[in-house]
Structure 1
């Protein structure tokens, strides 16, 4: 008997052993309708709805790439919901990695590590850890909770300028309704950010972690074993999160588009710090985003100047705000991975294949996508991003 069969037989043995002791509770038809079974059916129905209605021409999703990318997004968001929300406990919170090389979620960043924890705004928590060599560290307290409904905005930001950090990088601070860093009603989630300007993306390092700890100052009593109602509620939190981060996301209306977001391909609007009512937005960063559109024999050349700031980078996303493969391709650049021109400006080149010039950003052959810029704590106005489309053959002349 191999290990797989042995483990499986243990489960069968366990069921047989438990049956006599609980016969009164377990005697029922084979198709017993537990609360968890009803909730599980709702999850299956949502997945079917997403396939039929979310990945549909009504949402401008029709091509093979869009549909398959959409299925990948659904799987990734389901993974996030299961790992972060399904069994989150605000009485005993823990920081868990939000995105990585194989979990791409709501605008992930190759040059940053993100962690999420769920809290109760009525409680006081001690947050401690080490900055781990990051160029910028922050904790955003979001108007969101463990119910799975996405953030409605950022209520409080604590970044490394407000934290007491030792020479070794250690820190500790308190948050709560009566603390210096005050928790307001409705604040139920923490999103951390740890930015690294390195020659290679920090997220491509599979062992890099930020040591973080969060604990309630007043410990909670031991929690009971999961029962049918609790597990059903857990499944429904997953359903809510998955629905709200996919088909529940409204189609952007022209009058609701932030000024820093361009809807014109290959043209960027001035970078700006986003409004606080945008969930998951980094209130310490100026952003600029635009779609790109390139034919097979074209490239997009973007020139500008990094402002004096704590961190800056550019990254490519698909239409579902998921990064391209940064483990085996160069799909982003930051201040350390960019070769500057003699006058201190940068010149980025988006192309479907290697043009043989500095600062190539690999589109991986995708004719369209999103180009996203961020500048953390800029100390000056971000210079305009100048973009132009050139024939691929003309790129060599750039030098």
Structure 2
């Protein structure tokens, strides 16, 4: 007698898991073929690290988060190699907490040694899609902070908000104490329900989030050509230049800070070349310039000097700041290194600036001709 084979049950989460695997299987095409293909083995390796990192952040945000039992998740730090992504830098800690727009929350902590810190709420047009609107923004100037650096405040309900992101900027991330952030929901929590439908929805949201990330990265160096898109920051179209600085609007793609100005560029350097960047910064709470690879990521703070900021930069006699960028550490007090990378991207940011900054001046020179001292 022949037995009839038992049909394998089909679950929504099983189908969604397969869709996520298919998404992951195809995303490396963004950096190994086509007009955005990277050109050296380190960037290829960085591409797979970016895939792993963004997968981890996506699962933390969508699969494991409980908006009625929130916690602030580390998404960028100066010290974690698995959180180098999305426009990170060596001077800052970022945390994220998915929340429910219909609930009330209490947030408290201590400012530590932060020069600037903030909390921003963003929308989510549909599950897994990136924000296109700043819904809430509070920086440390808006908070009551006591003599010990402690703060506490409440938020919500807030229509359209889906996630809270914290920012914490340090002059010296190797010695500075980060802001401590705590959050609790003031309303009764939902029952824990990790069922088939909920898990499938979370996996699909994670896949959507990953697909968007790899529409943005890798960033191009030099002219974009037919590859141009409207996602992410406004990057200069020519290597060894910066785009015009701009103030972040309320309607903005991704998770930029509302009271920040940005200027983004790229570098393409031979071993014996350097960029000499001179900027006159407006009055602001904090500014920095950081070197990225093409995946909007830098190294850990202790790996090498890949950023300079308002506290670490030595100004020129006229108040301007000159920064030297080269593939190895140069002699100038404000020199930063690409850690050997020949190509990549550069990012200026200014917080609470009293005006939109002037465009940085950039010169490509031979490394031996780069300045070695302030003037």
Deviations 1:275-305 (A, max 9, x none): 2222211111111111112122110011122
Q: More deviation in 122-131 or 62-71?
A: 62-71
1:219 counterpart (170, 178, 188)? 188
The answer to whether the Cα contact below 8 Å between 2:216 and 2:232 also exists between their aligned partners in 1 is no
Q: Equivalent residue for 1:210?
A: 179
Matched, 1:390 2:365: yes
The answer to whether the Cα contact below 8 Å between 1:145 and 1:187 also exists between their aligned partners in 2 is no
Matched, 1:142 2:117: no
Q: Equivalent residue for 1:44?
A: 21
The answer to whether the Cα contact below 8 Å between 2:292 and 2:344 also exists between their aligned partners in 1 is yes
The answer to whether the Cα contact below 8 Å between 2:170 and 2:178 also exists between their aligned partners in 1 is no
The answer to whether the Cα contact below 8 Å between 1:126 and 1:216 also exists between their aligned partners in 2 is yes
CA drift of 1:328 comes to 1.2
- SS of the equivalent of 1:43 reads helix
Deviations 1:196-231 (A, max 9, x none): 122xxx2x57x955322222222224424x333333
Matched, 1:84 2:52: no
2:368, 2:217 → 1: CA distance?
41
Q: Equivalent residue for 2:134?
A: 154
2:203, 2:228 → 1: CA distance?
35
Matched, 1:120 2:97: no
The answer to whether the Cα contact below 8 Å between 1:314 and 1:372 also exists between their aligned partners in 2 is yes
1:332, 1:259 → 2: CA distance?
19
Unaligned runs of 5+ in 2: none
Q: More deviation in 148-157 or 109-118?
A: 148-157
The answer to whether the Cα contact below 8 Å between 2:113 and 2:178 also exists between their aligned partners in 1 is no
The answer to whether the Cα contact below 8 Å between 1:272 and 1:287 also exists between their aligned partners in 2 is yes
The answer to whether the Cα contact below 8 Å between 1:355 and 1:396 also exists between their aligned partners in 2 is no
CA drift of 1:189 comes to 0.7
TM-score by length of 2: 0.86
- SS of the equivalent of 1:141 reads strand
2:235, 2:308 → 1: CA distance?
20
Q: Equivalent residue for 1:180?
A: none
CA drift of 1:381 comes to 4.9
2:294 counterpart (312, 319, 323)? 319
The answer to whether the Cα contact below 8 Å between 2:71 and 2:97 also exists between their aligned partners in 1 is yes
Matched, 1:98 2:75: yes
Q: Equivalent residue for 2:37?
A: 61
Coordinate RMSD, CA, aligned: 2.8
How many residue pairs are counted as aligned between the two chains? 359
Cα distance 1:220–1:324, how it changes in 2: closer, same or farther (>3 A)?
A: closer
Alignment of 1:294-333 (within 5 A): 294-333=269-308
1:148, 1:36 → 2: CA distance?
16
- SS of the equivalent of 1:55 reads helix
The answer to whether the Cα contact below 8 Å between 2:110 and 2:179 also exists between their aligned partners in 1 is yes
CA drift of 1:95 comes to 1.0
2:318 counterpart (343, 348, 355)? 343
Cα distance 1:193–1:116, how it changes in 2: closer, same or farther (>3 A)?
A: same
Q: Equivalent residue for 1:373?
A: 348
Q: More deviation in 353-362 or 330-339?
A: 353-362
1:347, 1:269 → 2: CA distance?
18
Q: Equivalent residue for 1:7?
A: none
CA drift of 1:389 comes to 0.9
CA drift of 1:345 comes to 2.0
Cα distance 1:128–1:40, how it changes in 2: closer, same or farther (>3 A)?
A: same
- SS of the equivalent of 1:171 reads strand
Deviations 1:96-117 (A, max 9, x none): 1112331112101211111101
Cα distance 1:248–1:301, how it changes in 2: closer, same or farther (>3 A)?
A: closer
